[in-house]
């Protein structure tokens, strides 16, 4: 969709005529529906800066194919794969090489092909075997993309590459030039749904339904940036731990635009919604005043019953927080809490009681609750007095089922979601060199997990240890092929863990309790590998039936 300068408030009087193509990749395996926010955000930023030819090509759209992209890039001046995830490297690798070949056919040898998003973390090994990718944009892009585009408009991009913020690439001398764009401190002028083409399969989230069961048209926006915690398995807080909020005026303006386009629900794509209590309350009030049902994420230790009731009274219908695990030793190994070691140990041992209380409060407040666990995490070994961490070791099957039993029996959740520990570049779990809490479960041991581990061609080229593929891993959220996962897990342990959870759920239903719903990949349901009866009780096929899906 071509975006003209009249579609957005201009902050620059100069108009640039270069054609910029933003490409969004298709995501094969997803936990739940979620949009690629980078495309409209970057497009809005560019148009605000005076760039009038910005094309958004999101391959999640049902009306777009790679061939359509190849037609559009022939006369492009700048091509950017935007908002990419590390798990998408097989697709990025294939499509970027096709784009390069197409440009060569038309003699267009100097068109920059860039890749942005979390896929650019620890990417040097991929950079060395993808010469057709000009550079990688690491860090937040709303401001850096404008600087990059200015150099393209001036015809000085290649001369100025060394000085562009966040641009990473192989130098002429063979060294990898690494930099990261600085944090964006103000995003009020950006229209986060600018030129967005609604894709029901992606943008609508089935947690938002009307009273008669109709799916509400749902948009995703973020009202804050940054996370003050440093959990090791997450890469969200690796760039900055300060939290920046969207202004009330900007939020209200964007909500009204969405309402005019028929949107009825909002998912706030933020890390910890209630990190600032008063700001969260104001945003809840605004969402209700503008007529939206909504949901968001937060942390168990940053929410209480009074807050839940207030949010529910202001149209909140979904609130998610990740438990990750209930064992204190696991929370310590994953750096769940901030502060001194003594403070972290105290917080870790207080955590199970807070989990129980939070779920009781959710049920009382009338909010659906989701119990989210990560399987195969490491755990800390403590001294006899439990005052010092003396080492780390993998969690066991017994550890995981204890956490599951705790959740089903004490928390009585509406949903139960499983993930398996994956190593996302940019996180402490993936990047830390040498001995660390994750070395005991990392397939690379003391070496970091790089982006190349997610690309089969790179795995073969560098001789990286290969992940043992098995369809049973699809029982956990978003686990696809070519992902390095925890050494603590194997197919039998995954299967046994899920079976145990199903047995507990079924027993609770037989006893007259609530039917907790598991996240199950829709492909597995379609294949009949997992079934659920009218009561909500689960049945699962034998392990061998999962082998080759």
Shared-domain flag, residues 311 and 386: yes
Mean pLDDT by 10 residues, the chain (549 residues): 38 76 90 85 97 96 96 98 95 98 96 96 97 96 95 97 96 95 91 94 88 94 82 63 88 98 94 89 97 92 93 94 92 92 95 94 91 94 96 97 96 92 90 92 94 95 87 85 89 97 97 93 92 96 92
User: How much of the chain is in helix, strand and coil states, percent to nearest 5?
Assistant: 40, 20, 45
Determine phi and psi for 473, rounding to 5 degrees.
-65, -20
Domain harbouring 41, CATH code: 3.40.50.280
Check residue 10 and give its pLDDT.
39
Whether 207 maps to a domain, the answer reads no
Whether 136 maps to a domain, the answer reads yes
Report how far apart, in Å, the C-alpha atoms of 168 and of each of 94, 104, 148, 476 are. Answer: 20, 23, 12, 33
How far apart are alpha carbons 97 and 498 in whole angstroms?
Answer: 40
Pick from 28, 26, 24: which is nearest to 521 by CA? 28
Paired sense of beta strands 415-420 and 538-540, if any: unpaired
Block residue for tokens 């010092």: 388
Last residue of a domain, one of 127, 161, 178: 178
Domain harbouring 342, CATH code: 3.80.30.20
Whether 211 maps to a domain, the answer reads no
Exposed e or buried b per residue across 509-535, where buried means at least 16 C-beta atoms within 10 angstroms of its C-beta = beeeeebbbbbbbeebeeeebbebeee
Check residue 5 and give its pLDDT.
36
Q: Which residues contact 74 (CB under 8 A, 6 or more apart)?
A: 102, 103, 106, 108
Shared-domain flag, residues 171 and 227: no
For residues 16 and 149, is the Cβ–Cβ distance under 8 A?
yes
Check residue 3 and give its pLDDT.
40
Check residue 11 and give its pLDDT.
40
Domain count along the chain: 2
Check residue 131 and give its pLDDT.
97
Whether 474 maps to a domain, the answer reads yes
Last residue of a domain, one of 452, 485, 518: 485
Shared-domain flag, residues 174 and 225: no
Check residue 8 and give its pLDDT.
37
How far apart are alpha carbons 45 and 47 in whole angstroms?
Answer: 6
Paired sense of beta strands 370-375 and 415-420, if any: parallel
Residue 440: give the domain boundaries.
218-485
Dihedral angle computed from the Cα positions of residues 70, 76, 81 and 83, in that order, rounded to the nearest 10 degrees: -130
Q: What are the residue ranges of helices labelled H in 411-490? A: 428-431, 456-462
Shared-domain flag, residues 252 and 156: no
Whether 62 maps to a domain, the answer reads yes
How far apart are alpha carbons 92 and 118 in whole angstroms?
Answer: 13
Whether 21 maps to a domain, the answer reads yes
Shared-domain flag, residues 260 and 399: yes
User: Which residues share a beta bridge with 420?
Assistant: 375
Report how far apart, in Å, the C-alpha atoms of 63 and of each of 53, 66, 184, 197, 451 are. Answer: 21, 11, 33, 10, 30
Q: pTM for the full model?
A: 0.91
Shared-domain flag, residues 224 and 101: no
Whether 229 maps to a domain, the answer reads yes
Whether 234 maps to a domain, the answer reads yes
Shared-domain flag, residues 266 and 148: no
Shared-domain flag, residues 117 and 246: no
User: Which residues share a beta bridge with 209?
Assistant: 215
Q: Which residues contact 526 (CB under 8 A, 6 or more apart)?
A: none
Shared-domain flag, residues 94 and 237: no
Shared-domain flag, residues 225 and 165: no
pLDDT tens for 246-276 read 999 999 999 999 999 999 999 998 888 888 9
Determine phi and psi for 224, rounding to 5 degrees.
-155, 160
How far apart are alpha carbons 220 and 269 in whole angstroms?
Answer: 6
């Amino acid at each position: 969709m071509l975006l003209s300068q009249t579609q957005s408030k201009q902050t620059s009087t100069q108009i640039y005529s270069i054609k910029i193509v933003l490409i969004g990749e298709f995501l094969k395996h997803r936990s739940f529906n979620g949009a690629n926010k980078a495309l409209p955000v970057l497009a809005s930023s560019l148009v605000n800066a005076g760039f009038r030819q910005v094309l958004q090509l999101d391959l999640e759209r049902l009306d777009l194919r790679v061939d359509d992209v190849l037609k559009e890039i022939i006369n492009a001046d700048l091509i950017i794969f935007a908002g990419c995830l590390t798990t998408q490297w097989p697709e990025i690798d294939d499509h970027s090489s096709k784009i390069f070949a197409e440009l060569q056919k038309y003699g267009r040898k100097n068109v920059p092909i860039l890749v942005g998003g979390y896929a650019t973390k620890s990417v040097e090994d991929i950079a060395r075997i993808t010469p057709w990718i000009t550079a990688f944009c690491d860090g937040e892009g709303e401001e850096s993309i404008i600087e990059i585009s200015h150099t393209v408009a001036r015809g000085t991009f290649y001369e100025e590459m060394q000085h562009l913020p966040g641009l990473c690439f192989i130098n002429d001398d063979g060294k990898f030039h690494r930099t990261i764009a600085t944090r964006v401190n103000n995003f009020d002028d950006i229209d986060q749904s600018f030129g967005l083409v609604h894709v029901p399969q992606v943008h609508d989230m089935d947690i938002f339904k009307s009273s008669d069961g109709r799916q509400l048209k749902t948009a995703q926006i973020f009202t804050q940036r940054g996370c003050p915690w440093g959990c090791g398995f997450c890469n969200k807080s690796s760039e900055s731990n300060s939290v920046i909020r969207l202004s009330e005026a900007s939020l209200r303006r964007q909500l009204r635009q969405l309402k005019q386009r028929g949107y009825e629900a909002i998912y706030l794509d933020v890390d910890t919604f209630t990190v600032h209590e008063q700001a969260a309350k104001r945003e809840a009030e605004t969402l209700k005043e503008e007529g939206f049902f909504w949901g968001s994420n937060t942390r168990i230790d940053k929410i209480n019953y009074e807050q839940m009731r207030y949010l529910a009274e202001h149209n909140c219908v979904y609130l998610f927080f990740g438990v990750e695990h209930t064992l204190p030793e696991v929370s310590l190994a994953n750096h769940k809490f901030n502060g001194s070691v003594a403070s972290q140990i105290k917080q870790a041992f207080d955590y199970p009681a807070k989990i129980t209380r939070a779920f009781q409060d959710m049920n009382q407040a009338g909010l659906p609750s989701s119990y989210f666990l990560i399987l195969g995490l490491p755990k800390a070994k403590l001294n006899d007095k439990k005052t010092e961490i003396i080492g780390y070791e993998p969690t066991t099957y017994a550890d995981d089922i204890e956490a599951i039993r705790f959740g089903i029996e004490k928390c009585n959740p509406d949903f139960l979601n499983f993930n398996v520990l994956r190593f996302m570049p940019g996180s402490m779990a993936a990047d830390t060199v040498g001995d660390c809490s994750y070395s005991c479960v990392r397939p690379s041991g003391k070496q970091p997990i790089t982006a190349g581990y997610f690309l089969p061609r790179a795995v073969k080229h560098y001789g990286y240890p290969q992940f043992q593929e098995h369809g049973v891993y699809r029982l956990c959220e978003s686990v696809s092929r070519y992902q390095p996962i925890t050494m603590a897990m194997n197919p039998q342990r995954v299967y046994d863990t899920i079976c145990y959870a199903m047995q507990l759920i079924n027993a609770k239903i037989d006893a007259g309790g609530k039917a907790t719903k598991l996240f199950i990949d829709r492909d597995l349901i379609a294949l009949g590998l997992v079934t659920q009866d009218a009561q909500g009780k689960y049945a699962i096929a034998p392990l061998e039936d999962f082998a080759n899906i």
